Structure 1
Amino acid sequence: MVRYKHRYIVVEIQIDGKPIHAPLKLKPYVLYEAVIEKVQQLHGDYGVALIKPGFMTKYCNEMTRIALMKTRHEPYRILASSLPFVNTLEGKSIALNTIYTGATMRQCFKFIQQHQRKHLNQAWSKLRTDDERKAFELAVMDLTMADPNNVSNT
């Protein structure tokens, strides 16, 4: 039996014209399709054939605009080189910034937790009531995985 090594890439999605603290309605499959399309443009059929078997969007947080993508170890550089060129998502002008690349999901989630804690501390002062703060904290610190029905892995 063969063990496949994976790489997990954490990206931050920045949208032109929207405030940093405004939530982003994003389905993981939309991000998956946009990345595959850009890999097709940059690396052709060869690039798509390399990354598609192990590529998956695992996590998207609407509040902090963080996404976690999984790919196989060998072609992860093709994926990583294509991410900065993804500039539209559902007709919106965006920028994808790679903020962390890890070998395990556990390490990526540790990094995401630290990153989201910083985001929470920055936004904490803008909220007025304790109920708003508690709801915002639950939304920001939500580390549940993406819905498997909306994620494509083939």
Structure 2
Amino acid sequence: MVRFKHRYVTVEIVSPIVPDDKPLHLKPKIFHDTLLNKIQLLHGDFGVAAITNGFLTKYCNENTRIAIIRSRHGPHRFVTSTLPFVTKIGKLDVRLNTLHVGATLKHSFKFIQKHQRAYLDRMWSKLKTVEEREKLEAAVMDFTKTDVAINIDNIA
């Protein structure tokens, strides 16, 4: 039996049009299809065929603008080389920053926890009431906004 290795690419979605305190209205399916189209454009049929097996958007948070993309080890280089060239997702102008490339989903979520905790620290200074802070923390630390729900308690 052959073991398939995967790589998990953690991506930050930056949009100059939408303010930081507003959520992006971005669906994982649109994000996934945009990446496939851009890979087709840059790497052709070979690039798409290489990544199609195992290519999946595992996590996409609209509030913190972070997504995790799963790809097979080896062809993940097609994905990471394509990310800087994505400028539009749907009708939204964006720029994608690669934050982390990891071998396991557990390590990717640990990285996201640290990154989102720093995001909360920056955003809390702008909020005035305790209710607003609690709402923001619940939205930012929610790891279930995906096609497949992921339980973070099993990861930590």
TM range (shorter): over 0.9
Which runs of at least 4 in structure 1 moved beyond 2 Å after TM superposition? Answer: none
Equivalent residue number for residue 147 of structure 2: 147
SS of the residue aligned with 2:34? helix
Q: Post-superposition shift, 1:145?
A: 5.3
Any idea what the Cα deviations from partners look like across 1:54-108, whole Å, max 9, x if unmatched?
A: 1000001111100000000010101100011111011111101101000000000
Higher mean alpha-carbon deviation, 85-94 vs 33-42, is at 85-94
Equivalent residue number for residue 125 of structure 1: 125
Query: Any residues of structure 2 matched to 1:1-154 within 5 Å, and which?
Result: 1-144=1-144, 146-148=146-148
CA distance in structure 2 between the aligned counterparts of 1:21 and 1:12, rounded to whole angstroms: 15
Q: Which runs of 5+ in 1 are unaligned?
A: 149-154
User: Once the two structures are aligned, what percentage of the paired residues are identical?
Assistant: 51
Higher mean alpha-carbon deviation, 20-29 vs 106-115, is at 20-29
TM-score under structure 1 length normalisation: 0.93
CA RMSD after TM alignment: 0.9
Q: Which runs of 5+ in 2 are unaligned?
A: 149-156
Higher relative contact order by CA 8 Å / sep ≥ 6: 1 or 2?
1
TM-score under structure 2 length normalisation: 0.92
Number of equivalences = 148
